[in-house]
Amino acid sequence: MTMYADIVFLTNAVIDYMLLFLTGHICRQPLRKRRLLFASLVGATYTVFLFFPPLSFAFTFLAKLLFSCLMIMLAFRWTKMWGFVRLLATFYAVSFFIGGGLMAAHAMLEEKSEVVDGIVVTHTGASGPPLTLWFLIIGFSLLWWGVRYGYYSVKASRQVDVQYVQLEVDIFGHTIACRGFIDTGNQLFDPLTRIPVTVMEAEVWKGILPERLLQRLEEEITAFELDMPEEESRWLERLRFIPYRTVSSQTGFLVAIRPDEVRVYANDKTYCINRMLIGLRAVRLSADRSYQAIVHPKGIEERYVIAS
């Protein structure tokens, strides 16, 4: 069997580049083409050892692991130990999945093959470029697309699962509950304290919030314009006025309340947040009434999870 070193080197360089690209994509790493290209070329030099039997030590597990670590470091730089291990594990997972898929497809389609020195050799009668080379290029491309498409499909379905959550707000011994929607584009914070703001429909607060405040939510008000009875004056201490800007560049102030505690229920987890403001809107947030609150993404951070 004739092996062409240039074809083997080029094929492995392309495969390594696509594997590293997919690894960085999954792990959300900066994808710098020059670094990926250099790392893939270094990885492709590993195939040179095939043509030099005295370099058989390179086929040991330790040598392969060190070569993989070198490729990861060249492609994505060193960050932290856990981040590096995550990249390395993802790189191997993607490689095993695509490599296993190619071997399975090849075993189904081959007519005659044998194992020579640990290498599967397929005998074909085709002329021109070897059939196995075209099979490798086409099969790898299809499997690479499948892994990438499958990853984003799973990610999208998971996002749909966590988009809707159950929200509970405690204040003055009352609990206000409603369905919330996680909006990753919600980056509304109190400019002074940097406390995240979750927006709720004021209608949910009926019976708990003072009627005078509910009636004036649509107006441009300040704390000094609120004439509230003495028994309801405690609400004034909890009010905040958050400046905001809409997509159409309109500015205004959002009336917000500082609750005692906020709880978010999502994916069988409970998130407890003590520092979150609740902005009140007199209009409906959802036309189909599928949710009554736009929850700030900070509300589902892992640090707020309550151990069950």
Alpha-carbon gap, residue 199 to 248, rounded angstroms: 19
Q: Where are the beta strands (DSSP E) in the chain?
A: 113-116, 119-122, 164-171, 174-182, 197-201, 239-245, 251-257, 261-266, 269-273, 277-281, 293-295
Which listed residue (170, 183, 190, 227) is catalytic?
Answer: 183
3-state DSSP assignment of residue 29: coil
Instruction: Assess whether 183 carries a catalytic annotation.
Output: yes
List residues bridging with 115 in a β-sheet: 120
Q: Where are the beta strands (DSSP E) in 172-299?
A: 174-182, 197-201, 239-245, 251-257, 261-266, 269-273, 277-281, 293-295
Alpha-carbon gap, residue 82 to 122, rounded angstroms: 41
Q: Where are the beta strands (DSSP E) in 78-211?
A: 113-116, 119-122, 164-171, 174-182, 197-201
Q: Are strands 293-295 and 119-122 parallel, antiparallel or unpaired?
A: unpaired
DSSP string, 34-47: HHHHHHHHHHHGGG
Q: Looking only at Cα atoms, what is the longest distance across the chain?
A: 95
Contact 258, 170 (CB under 8 A): no
Polymer length of the chain: 308
Alpha-carbon gap, residue 148 to 31, rounded angstroms: 15
List active site positions.
183
